[in-house]
């Protein structure tokens, strides 16, 4: 029941605002469900991908997608996505779980905090300097690959500040952008086997109706205020992950030091 409720609430936020998929799902899977970091990110990728797949038609039918900006962002983000997945895989396999949790927490915290940064809008930037958009999307791809988050929040911030699109077009374009990254990331994680199928199915059981309800209600709610609330909750979740990562790192270090001291005493015992 807990997993269904989590899936519903996360999906409702995604349907209403277009953000929050990875930012909520990864902390929930790590802190509440207790999945390993690699499985949490892989499961979150597939979950967020399905949510965006359901939400995308609501925006496509309203013609709120700019194909040019979508292509430019994908050009830069996909290589970054692969780098992020490889980095996560390498750290997770090396047994540095506390460090992975700490890095995930830092990334999610920074991503959420950017939502509160004062706008520095330059809507004509991409019109005159479109070659730079793939480079600006590249780090978004890296974070998305490592944490499954970033495509929604950072993509929205980037397009709101540096394109001339309306807010509705920004959300629509960013949802399709995030959907493509989620499909690629989900395929890679599924191939690697870093997905918890039982947890994913329970999340989707609550998430599918949640995202549909969110999309249907999107026009009736104050989107900007709601995004602020979503970002604040995601920020708190990121900080909790940082604390958990630091606490686990200290505990691991203390345990290693204790074992080393014990070994030294036994070796020097007459």
Question: pLDDT tens digits, residue range 52-69?
Answer: 888 777 766 766 677 888
Asked whether the predicted pLDDT for residue 96 surpasses 60, the reply is no
Q: How many CB atoms lie within 10 A of CB 252?
A: 15
Look up the pTM and report it.
0.76
**Residues of the chain with pLDDT > 70: what percent?**
73
Give the least confident one: 49-53, 99-103, 225-229.
225-229
CA-based nearest residue to 26, from 119, 122, 115, 112 = 112
Q: How far apart are CA 49 and CA 111, in angstroms?
A: 19
Q: At what angle do helices 133-147 and 67-93 cross, to 10 degrees?
A: 40
Q: What is the dihedral of CA 160, 161, 164, 166, to 10 degrees?
A: 20
| Whether the Cβ atoms of residue 30 and residue 44 lie closer than 8 Å to each other | no
- The pLDDT of 150-177, averaged and rounded, is 75
pLDDT band at 255 (very low <50, low <70, confident <90, very high): low
CA 131 vs CA 4, 82, 246: distances in Å: 43, 21, 40
Query: Residue 119 gets which letter from DSSP?
Result: P
CA-based nearest residue to 55, from 223, 211, 218, 181 = 211
Q: Would you state the pLDDT for residue 158?
A: 78
Q: Would you state the pLDDT for residue 154?
A: 76
Q: How far apart are CA 93 and CA 91, in angstroms?
A: 6
Higher-confidence residue of 262 and 73: namely: 73
**Best-predicted range by mean pLDDT (58-67, 78-87, 125-134, 143-152):** 78-87
pLDDT band at 258 (very low <50, low <70, confident <90, very high): low
Asked whether the predicted pLDDT for residue 224 surpasses 90, the reply is no
């Amino acid at each position: 029941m807990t997993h269904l409720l989590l899936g519903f609430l996360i999906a409702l936020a995604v349907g209403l605002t277009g953000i929050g998929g990875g930012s909520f799902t990864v902390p929930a899977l790590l802190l509440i469900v207790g999945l390993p970091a690699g499985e949490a990110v892989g499961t979150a990728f597939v979950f967020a991908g399905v949510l965006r797949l359901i939400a995308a038609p609501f925006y496509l039918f309203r013609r709120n997608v700019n194909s040019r900006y979508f292509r430019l962002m994908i050009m830069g983000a996909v290589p970054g996505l692969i780098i992020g997945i490889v980095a996560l895989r390498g750290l997770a396999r090396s047994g540095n779980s506390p460090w992975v949790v700490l890095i995930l927490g830092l990334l999610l915290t920074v991503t959420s905090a950017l939502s509160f940064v004062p706008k520095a809008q330059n809507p004509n930037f991409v019109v005159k300097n479109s070659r730079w958009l793939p480079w600006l999307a590249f780090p978004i791809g890296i974070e998305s690959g490592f944490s499954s988050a970033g495509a929604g929040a950072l993509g929205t911030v980037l397009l709101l500040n540096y394109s001339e699109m309306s807010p509705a077009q920004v959300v629509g374009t960013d949802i399709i952008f995030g959907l493509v990254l989620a499909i690629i990331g989900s395929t890679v994680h599924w191939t690697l086997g870093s997905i918890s199928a039982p947890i994913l199915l329970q999340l989707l059981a609550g998430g599918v109706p949640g995202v549909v309800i969110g999309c249907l209600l999107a026009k009736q709610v104050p989107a900007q205020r709601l995004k602020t609330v979503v970002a604040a909750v995601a920020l708190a979740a990121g900080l909790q992950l940082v604390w958990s990562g630091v606490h686990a790192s200290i505990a691991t270090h203390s345990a290693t030091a204790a074992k080393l001291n014990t070994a030294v005493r036994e070796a020097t015992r007459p």
